[in-house]
Amino acid sequence: MYVLLAGLCLMCIAVMNVNAADDIKKKVIGKWEITIPDAPDEYNQFDVEIKEVEGVIIMNFKGGDIDIKEQKFTLKDGKLTSNLYVGENVQIVLFEEKGDIKGTADTSMGKLPFVMKKKVEKKTK
């Protein structure tokens, strides 16, 4: 009896983890402005578009002299991560905190937190 209850609890936790993973994927899709306050000027402001293609999160981002397309993210522990090269190797991590999407860029300067602000699309008449 106890083994059965423990098994059911584990299954419920697994389902909740899958739902949380799908939840962050759905929440990051769209167009964003990213600001990295502690980064050098040419690396502190980006326009970003995030989409899902065949279950994979893909990011296109542009800012300063950086224009990266089709950057793939992997899901691990409820966070989306990607490694990219922008003059140095940088790990990007996207996560949800208190209902907001936030992130960090792990660079040679350390982990730089960044702010993501969803762009409001203007409706055309």
| CATH of 2-118 given 2.40.128, 2.30.30, 3.30.30, 1.10.3470 | 2.40.128
In angstroms, rounded to a whole number, what is the distance separating the alpha carbons of residues 46 and 96?
19
The tens digit of pLDDT for each residue in 73-120 reads 999 999 999 999 988 999 999 999 998 999 999 999 999 999 999 988
- Ordered by start, the domain boundaries in the chain are 2-118
The tens digit of pLDDT for each residue in 16-28 reads 444 444 689 999 9
Question: pTM to 2 decimals?
Answer: 0.77
Q: Residue 105: which H helix or E strand, with range?
A: strand 100-107
Residue 12: DSSP 8-state: H
Q: Is the dihedral of CA 85, 92, 115, 38 positive or negative?
A: negative
- In sequence order, the β-bridge partners of residue 93 are 81, 104
